[in-house]
Amino acid sequence: MIRLTLSEIAERLSGSLHLSETDATGETIVDGPVETDSREIVPGGVFVAKRGDDTDGHLFVGAAVDRGAALAIVEHPVKDAIAQIVVSDAVIALGEFAQFVVERVRSAGDLTVIGITGSNGKTTTKNMLERILSEEAETVAPVRSFNNAVGAPTTMLRITESTRYLIVEMGASGIGHIARLVELAKPDIGVVLKVGLAHAGGFGGIESTLAAKTEMVADLDTDSIAVLNADDARVASMADKTRASVLTFGENESAMIRATDIVGTRTGTTFIAHAPDEEPVKVRLRVLGEHHVSNALAALTVASTLGVPLARAAAALETLERAERWRMEVLGGKDDVTIINDAYNASPDSMAAAIKTLAQISEPSKRTIAVLGAMSELGEYSGDEHDRIGLQLVRLNISRLVVVGPEARRMHISAINEGSWDGESVYFGDMDAAYDYLAAEIIPGDTVLVKSSNSAQLRFLGDRLGELFSW
């Protein structure tokens, strides 16, 4: 974080500054990382004591002090010996703090802020873009999927005076969430990847999801740039809802940065990238799944906008070994068994894409096994969407289906009702039973996909299978 005095922070947050015995004035400077988890505090850091669903951050101010925190942002004074700024709402204060820091760095330096949203692909695109831009200049991007009202500001607060690029992943579970993050970060470039049914239950339907994602570009300034997916009609329609200049990516021939000759294998995906006034470049992604080509194109479009030549950006992409932990992560290898652990998140679109990848990358003579758990937060769409996945598995001729957990059982029933299978689909109520079955069922040459929403926790089952078949 940039260097700020206690008084500067308190004034911006409209908070009441309470000094400790070692801080006689408000001119003490803090510049350590800002955290909401006391376990992440390092000496000189700032602890934000937010209230959670299960606990209260104020209970951990003492732990933050023990780890060397220099400042606590709290909603009521605490007895621990530390400088404190008392605010009415710690989460709102965190956002205002982040906005203050971004404004200060932007006014004094050459900071470019890139916001990324979409129903799928945010984290992968963020990682791809970070890999490209970090080769060019100092770049700050979210850790894991820090994309909400807490995670996004925490990322923003990591910038320094020398940061050239700030990438902010912007997620939402309701109307107004992305608009708030846009207000805080004021992106110079806003990227929209896809509008799908992820979190549709919370949004109330696909049209509400579209409205929420449109918030990314609706408030961009006229000198900003909106980067839109030309292959998604809903995203493409946002061109009429923004004052910013519009650039597009996709397989569509109208796209500014587009892909042709896409080939997916067990070792990754290749395609030819085309950009105006540049020679076409062959891109070799080590990340599994043709659906990641769209994410790569989004990253290449942003990079091109920032003056990075297509060939140099493509070379940087080729060094990215995986999208993220538990996202199309390739494990195993022993006995030619491939475990694809993609169980950190799941929406109908990402589930369908992962199953399609499973079918595409397996050799015709080898078996494919889909180990699937529930897709959460679909609301009234949940039943139909789980049915659709069950039918897709049969129609793509996946060799075995292993459904885990009562919330996902409908996929198992749908696959059986399709009438094409005879015992190829099995159901287990818990992960231990599924693991015991798979440990005995998997044979040399099998390719196994493990996919579910985070709440189903099948990522841990994927890790166990990966360890079982590791060299």
Q: 151 among the known binding-site residues?
A: no
State residue 403 phi and psi, 5-degree precision: -100, 135
Q: 88 among the known binding-site residues?
A: no
Give, as one character, the DSSP assignment of residue 139.
E
3-state secondary structure of 39: helix
Tokens, residue 403: 């459904």
Alpha carbons 168 and 76: distance in angstroms, whole number: 30
> 389: closest CA among 425, 339, 349, 427?
349
Alpha carbons 102 and 91: distance in angstroms, whole number: 17
Q: 123 among the known binding-site residues?
A: yes
Q: 124 among the known binding-site residues?
A: yes
Please, how many CA atoms are within 13 Å of residue 445, restricted to the half-sphere of its CB? 7
Q: 268 among the known binding-site residues?
A: no
The H or E element containing residue 463 is: helix 458-468
Q: Pairing between strand 189-192 and 112-117?
A: parallel
Q: Pairing between strand 447-451 and 338-342?
A: parallel
Q: Pairing between strand 447-451 and 257-265?
A: unpaired
The answer to whether the Cα torsion of 325, 329, 332, 333 is positive or negative is: negative
* Placement of tokens 């169980």 in the chain: 343
Q: 295 among the known binding-site residues?
A: no
User: Do residues 87 and 15 lie in contact, with contact meaning Cβ atoms separated by under 8 Å?
Assistant: yes
Residue 278 CA: distances (Å) to CA of 125, 245, 274: 22, 21, 7
Residue 339 CA: distances (Å) to CA of 144, 284, 448, 451, 463: 21, 21, 5, 11, 9
Q: 222 among the known binding-site residues?
A: no
- Which residues does the annotation place in the binding site for ATP? 118-124
- Which residues does the annotation place in the binding site? 118-124
